[in-house]
Amino acid sequence: MEIRFSGKRIKVFAGSIRSPDGSESYREIVRHPGAVVILPVKEGKILLIRQYRHAIGKWILELPAGTLEEKEDPEKAAQRELKEETGYEAERLTRVMSFYSSPGISDEILHVFLAEGLREGKPSREQGELIENLWIPLEEVLEMVRRNEIEDAKTIATVLYYSSFLL
Amino acid sequence: MEIRFSGKRIKVFAGSIRSPDGSESYREIVRHPGAVVILPVKEGKILLIRQYRHAIGKWILELPAGTLEEKEDPEKAAQRELKEETGYEAERLTRVMSFYSSPGISDEILHVFLAEGLREGKPSREQGELIENLWIPLEEVLEMVRRNEIEDAKTIATVLYYSSFLL
């Protein structure tokens, strides 16, 4: 494969690859540094953010999340992104699971952390990051997932994992 | 933004974008034609596939899925991908939900279909598609999700949605 784009966040490779069975085929692959997802929970409520996403050109509801910096420990990244995006700091972060967002095309892996013992502070959002905090009761979040009002895969997967296995 | 890579499946754009608040910032965006996810259910079992994913360099367990062809109807794509990847045809496909796989970086949207009334046939896998069918009882699939042995976001989200809301 050859590198076809080298950006600040992603690299794109394209070309012929050999499969474990020896066959060759063409693929396009996006290399990504990985990311973290944070599930902030307090008194039966979940902290979601309403965020403008340029890639899809609209506002959507998501859990706080962000890209790993170079060689950054995922737990440190979860604490950093939670603070930057929402202003909150967590006394306890617990690793929940990791998953690939789109393994047919990308190596992006997301590490999910449950955040508890939350203290409010001031966010430090990046230029162009338009974000609003929303504390919503878990039952209501689940209803929003059921009605597909939440359209973000990592948020659907994480909220349902929490309600299915961690309560 | 400028186009920086134009492939068979994805296009990559990079450059300055203007946010709804008027601020400008740099972004990298992957444009994707969208995809379908199929949840094949029969007698309390789920059909998963074990598939070699070049982007992550390993075999993982996933629901059948595939990229939309140009202007293809998602339901037709679901039927086509189910047949191509697993050999099965479904009497009934029911739209479940849609979600974005990675809205911070990509516009890829996945449309999820429940597939029932399944008839076995012969798959027609593409070159380099290494796939094995596995029918697994739902309870066992949920346990694999809980233990994070399933590492694919769309599969985690879809299986938990099914067990939480459709049973």
pLDDT digits (tens, 9 = 90+) for B47-102: 999 999 999 999 999 999 999 999 999 999 999 999 999 999 999 999 999 999 99
Residue A137's closest CA among A43, A40, A39, A37?
A: A43
Chain A residues close to B167, C-beta within 8 Å? none
How many other CB atoms are found less than 10 A from the CB of residue B111?
Answer: 21
Distance, CA of B61 to CA of B82 (rounded, Å): 15
pLDDT (0 to 100) of residue A102: 98
pTM of the complete model: 0.97
Residue B111's closest CA among B65, B152, B61?
A: B65
Q: Which residues are registered as beta bridge partners of B119? A: B89
Residue B48's closest CA among B58, B57, B32, B37?
A: B37
Mean per-residue pLDDT over chain A, rounded: 96
Which tens digit of pLDDT belongs to each residue from A104-123?
999 999 999 999 999 999 88
Pairwise CB contact (< 8 Å): A104 & B55:
yes
Residue A7's closest CA among A97, A71, A59, A67?
A: A67
Give the confidence band of A43 by pLDDT, cuts at 50, 70, 90: very high
Tokens of A42: 């307090």
Residue B142 has pLDDT above 90, yes or no: yes
Interface A-B, measured as beta-carbon pairs within 8 A, has a size of: 203
CATH architecture of the domain with range A33-165: Alpha-Beta Complex (3.90)
Domain ranges, ordered by start, for chain B: 1-31, 33-165
Distance, CA of B30 to CA of A124 (rounded, Å): 26
Rounded to an integer, the average pLDDT of B130-137 is 94
Q: Is B70 a catalytic residue?
A: no
Residue of B38, B144, B160, B165 best to disrupt the A interface, most CBs of A under 10 A: B160
Distance, CA of A45 to CA of B14 (rounded, Å): 37
pLDDT (0 to 100) of residue A128: 73
Which residue among B72, B75, B84, B129 is the active-site one?
A: B129
Nearest by CB to residue A100, choosing from B29, B56, B103, is B56
Distance set, CA A91 to CA A88, A119, B53 (Å)? 10, 8, 37
Distance, CA of B108 to CA of B102 (rounded, Å): 7
How many other CB atoms are found less than 10 A from the CB of residue B125?
Answer: 13
What type of residue is B50? R
Which residue among A129, A139, A140, A143 is the active-site one?
A: A129
Q: How far is the alpha carbon of A91 from chain B, nearest alpha carbon, in Å?
A: 24
Residue A166 has pLDDT above 80, yes or no: yes
Pairwise CB contact (< 8 Å): B153 & A153:
yes
What type of residue is A56? I
Cβ within 8 Å of residue A157, ≥6 positions away: A99, B153, B156, B157, B160
Residue in chain B nearest A64 by alpha carbon: B104
Chain B residues close to A127, C-beta within 8 Å? 23-25
Chain A residues close to B84, C-beta within 8 Å? none
Residue B42 has pLDDT above 80, yes or no: yes
Residue A126 has pLDDT above 80, yes or no: no
Which tens digit of pLDDT belongs to each residue from A89-106?
999 999 999 999 999 999
Query: ipTM score of the complex?
Result: 0.97
Rounded to an integer, the average pLDDT of A51-57 is 95
Query: CB-hemisphere CA count at 13 Å for A18?
Result: 3
Distance, CA of B57 to CA of A54 (rounded, Å): 30
Residue B138 has pLDDT above 80, yes or no: yes
Chain B residues close to A102, C-beta within 8 Å? 101-102, 106, 108, 153-154
Using H for helix, E for strand and C for coil, what is the string for B27-96?
EEEEECCCEEEEEEEECCEEEEEEEEECCCCEEEEECCEEECCCCCCHHHHHHHHHHHHHCCEEEEEEEE
